[in-house]
Amino acid sequence: MNADREVPNLFAPFQKRIKVAAFLISGAILILLLRLWGLQILEGERLLLLSINNRLRIRPVEAPRGLILDRNGKLMVENRASFDLYATPEDIPDIKETARRLAEILKVSPEELTQRLSQGQALPAQPALLRKGIDEQTVMAIEEQKIDLPGVGLRVRPVRAYPTGGAAATLLGYVTEVSHAQLESREFRDFRPGETMGQAGIERRYDAFIRGIDGGEQIEVDARGKVIRLVQRVEPRSGFNLYLTLDSRLQRIAEESFRSRSGALVAINPSSGEILAMVSKPSYDPNQFSQRMTPEQWRMLASDPKHPMQNRGLQGQYAPGSIFKLVTALAALEKGAIGPDTKFSCNGSFSLGSHLFHDWKKGGHGTLNLRQGIANSCNIYFYNTALKTGIEEIARVAGELGLGAPPGIGLGDEAKGVIPSAEARTRGPGGWYPGNTVMAGIGQGMITATPMQVLMMVSAIANGGTIYRPWVVRRVETLDRELIEEYGPEIVRKVNIDPDNLAIVREGMQAVVSEGTGGRARIPGLAVAGKSGTAQVVRNSGPLRGDHRDHAWFVAFAPADDPQIAVVVLAEHAGFGGSVAAPIAKSVLEAWFKLPKEPRTAQAVEPEPAEGD
């Protein structure tokens, strides 16, 4: 530092810059003072008035949610205007008279209305919500009598509308206001009370895209709470539109072919994982959430023993029954336990130790090879096969094909089903016996799967061994059709199964339709491959007698050599898969190839003439 003293003007340039800084800071402080002068002296009185009544209010302007369209651009979910009825009690000179007139229109008792309007007076003059979502007739009646209804007003709000009602309802989801419980959780801390959000399915999963950005108004109100000036308004920004992989025409046909049965149907493009249709029955009408819903209505819906709000395709876990024979067959081929020409004879029963296992057909099927075994869904054939293969390989192949793990569509809770993993086998009650293996070989016992899992499994068999993640949203676009997000096929994995073995099983599946249990899914001119299944329902305490009837499965794809669509049908408590579920699958397959395709989505070429039919 001695050097500093020897050269006294070393700091001169710094001192100059410090002086500049001093000027800048003084200037900034001066600007602050001018601003304060402006606010406190020039505008002080006006702002004081504003503060006395605190007259500045904010009013949210709800953004319309994005539309949901099918793969061809057909509307599946839209918005409609809903009218809410408000009353400002302070503006009503004669509450009794107004209540009487209004009660007539709303068809409620005038006493109740009088009481509600009087209660409203205790609050500072704010319009009180009298009724949400009033119908068109009521709107007209109120508009007509407007002069006689001072202080009563209507406000328009966009609400969700599902033109197809209960179709694909559990997939599409529904919209409600955020609940109190949700508001308290971290996830929803950015939400304000009364804000709406998607509560299930696609509406929930893609809520951030669909919801849009609410606008708002800053309004100045007078002492009575009436708006005197709009200070600022920011327009709401409509949410993004979703384009689904679903084909609403196919969806409608699928829904109709299900008639009044309970169960699930999923149709998919097996070479991409695009979901084409998804039915879950019984369903509910999501439109009722857009209207005034009473707590009783909600309780009825939520506690319905038939679970209409459950998406059975993703959440329903059922014994796969004979469908699982495809897995057993593949496992046996993989292990080399059998070949395509291995024969077993079936006389209707099979004894293992002291147990006697039966075939579903009395008297048996006679001697069968693998193709015939699959075609006729012969239990005896697969008891033998399973026993020769062993549970380890069966469990491995089941896992390879996606059973025992959630399919990953990402919509709410996806069940993952149960496969007899090594862990499950050792933990199971009383250990694992050959008898368990025999039962597992035909898809009973400790095996469950969701219809979606079964469909993915069959898709992998159909496409030569690729597991695609199922997906349902193709594109996200703005109102002006600007692309936000685009989704495409996603390969989860290539299964570790010999493609030749998959081909053998495919051949067996074709035989199911052409000569076996799936004859009801036969379509002239189209090579359909399929497999039926009948899942025994084991229940200790079924509340209804009908509940003990078996579940009917049918899974199919077509054309067999170039699969463009795969479909799974599960009809709850409906009986035999081949007789109940197969016709439903057939009508969907048939419809798909008849539907005219948009050029950009056209994959359907002329179906090949069916082989061996």
Q: Name the one range near another protein by CB under 8 A: 30-38, 168-176, 335-343, 605-613.
A: 30-38
**In the complex, least distance from residue 218 CB atom to another protein, rounded to whole angstroms:** 5
Q: What HEC string does 47-82 produce?
A: HHHHHHHCCEEEEEECCCCCCEECCCCCEEEEEEEE
Return the number of the residue (54 or 351) whose C-beta is nearest another protein: 54
What does the block give as tokens for 470? 């199922």
Q: Name the one range near another protein by CB under 8 A: 50-58, 199-207, 300-308, 504-512.
A: 50-58
Which residues in the 55-74 window bind another protein by CB under 8 A?
56, 58, 60
Q: In 302-313, which positions are buried (b, 16+ CB within 10 angstroms) versus exposed (e)?
A: eeeeebbbbbbb
What does the block give as tokens for 162? 């599902």
Q: Name the one range near another protein by CB under 8 A: 51-59, 509-517, 532-540, 604-612.
A: 51-59
From CA 570, how far away is CA 577, in angstroms rounded? 8
Closest by CA to 224, choosing from 131, 147, 123, 148, is 123
**In the complex, least distance from residue 289 CB atom to another protein, rounded to whole angstroms:** 24
* Of positions 7, 9, 48, 106, contacts another protein by CB under 8 A: 48
Return the number of the residue (43 or 112) whose C-beta is nearest another protein: 43
The four Cα atoms 463, 467, 469, 475 give a dihedral, to 10 degrees, of -30
**In the complex, least distance from residue 209 CB atom to another protein, rounded to whole angstroms:** 9
At 241 the three-state DSSP class reads strand
Strand order in the sheet with 215-221: 56-61, 215-221, 227-234
From CA 399, how far away is CA 536, in angstroms rounded? 22
* Of positions 35, 299, 358, 494, contacts another protein by CB under 8 A: 35
Which residues in the 88-147 window bind another protein by CB under 8 A?
none
DSSP for 515-533, please give it.
Answer: HSTTGGG-BTTB--EEEEE
* Of positions 15, 109, 119, 603, contacts another protein by CB under 8 A: 15
Q: Name the one range near another protein by CB under 8 A: 15-23, 98-106, 171-179, 340-348.
A: 15-23
Under a CB-based contact definition with an 8 Å cutoff, are residues 346 and 359 in contact?
A: yes
Closest by CA to 325, choosing from 463, 532, 598, is 532
Return the number of the residue (11 or 298) whose C-beta is nearest another protein: 11
**In the complex, least distance from residue 207 CB atom to another protein, rounded to whole angstroms:** 13
Closest by CA to 613, choosing from 520, 506, 528, is 528
From CA 487, how far away is CA 474, in angstroms rounded? 5
Return the number of the residue (35 or 548) whose C-beta is nearest another protein: 35
Closest by CA to 313, choosing from 447, 468, 451, 408, is 451
* Of positions 72, 118, 121, 218, contacts another protein by CB under 8 A: 218
H or E element that contains 253: helix 248-258
Closest by CA to 71, choosing from 267, 280, 276, 278, is 276
* Of positions 13, 305, 430, 599, contacts another protein by CB under 8 A: 13
Task: State phi, psi for 464 to the nearest 5 degrees.
Answer: 90, 20
Return the number of the residue (25 or 491) whose C-beta is nearest another protein: 25
602 is a contact residue toward another protein (CB under 8 A): no
**In the complex, least distance from residue 39 CB atom to another protein, rounded to whole angstroms:** 4
Query: Using CB under 8 A as the criterion, what x/- string covers residues 219-238 for binding another protein?
Result: ------------xxxx--x-
Block residue for tokens 């009722």:
288
**In the complex, least distance from residue 24 CB atom to another protein, rounded to whole angstroms:** 9
Give 508's DSSP letter: H
Return the number of the residue (230 or 605) whose C-beta is nearest another protein: 230
Return the number of the residue (30 or 302) whose C-beta is nearest another protein: 30
Under a CB-based contact definition with an 8 Å cutoff, are residues 521 and 585 in contact?
A: yes
**In the complex, least distance from residue 206 CB atom to another protein, rounded to whole angstroms:** 13
Which residues in the 476-505 window bind another protein by CB under 8 A?
478, 482, 484
Q: Name the one range near another protein by CB under 8 A: 148-156, 216-224, 267-275, 360-368.
A: 216-224
Half-sphere exposure of 507 (CA within 13 A, CB side): 15
594 is a contact residue toward another protein (CB under 8 A): no
Under a CB-based contact definition with an 8 Å cutoff, are residues 419 and 447 in contact?
A: yes
**In the complex, least distance from residue 54 CB atom to another protein, rounded to whole angstroms:** 6
427 is a contact residue toward another protein (CB under 8 A): no
* Of positions 7, 9, 54, 107, contacts another protein by CB under 8 A: 54
Q: Name the one range near another protein by CB under 8 A: 44-52, 105-113, 124-132, 309-317.
A: 44-52
Give 37's DSSP letter: I
* Of positions 6, 45, 341, 606, contacts another protein by CB under 8 A: 45
* Of positions 22, 227, 300, 595, contacts another protein by CB under 8 A: 22
Q: In 31-66, which positions are buried (b, 16+ CB within 10 angstroms) versus exposed (e)?
A: eeeeeeeeeeeeeeeeeeeeeeeebeeeeeebbbbb
For 184-259, strand residue ranges (E) read: 196-198, 215-221, 227-234, 241-244
Q: Name the one range near another protein by CB under 8 A: 139-147, 211-219, 284-292, 564-572.
A: 211-219
**In the complex, least distance from residue 46 CB atom to another protein, rounded to whole angstroms:** 8
Which residues in the 172-201 window bind another protein by CB under 8 A?
189, 192
From CA 62, how far away is CA 82, in angstroms rounded? 12
At 28 the three-state DSSP class reads helix
**In the complex, least distance from residue 408 CB atom to another protein, rounded to whole angstroms:** 25
From CA 142, how far away is CA 41, in angstroms rounded? 48
Return the number of the residue (21 or 302) whose C-beta is nearest another protein: 21
Return the number of the residue (59 or 522) whose C-beta is nearest another protein: 59
Pairing label, strands 68-69, 241-244: parallel
**In the complex, least distance from residue 240 CB atom to another protein, rounded to whole angstroms:** 8
Block residue for tokens 């050959």:
434
Instruction: Count the site residues for another protein by CB under 8 A.
Output: 54
Closest by CA to 585, choosing from 547, 549, 613, 558, is 558
From CA 70, how far away is CA 51, in angstroms rounded? 52
Query: Using CB under 8 A as the criterion, what x/- string covers residues 451-480 for binding another protein?
Result: ---------------------------x--
Binding-site ranges for another protein (CB under 8 A): 1, 4-5, 11, 13-15, 17-19, 21-22, 25-26, 28-29, 31-33, 35-37, 39-41, 43-48, 50-52, 54, 56, 58, 60, 189, 192, 213-218, 231-234, 237, 478, 482, 484
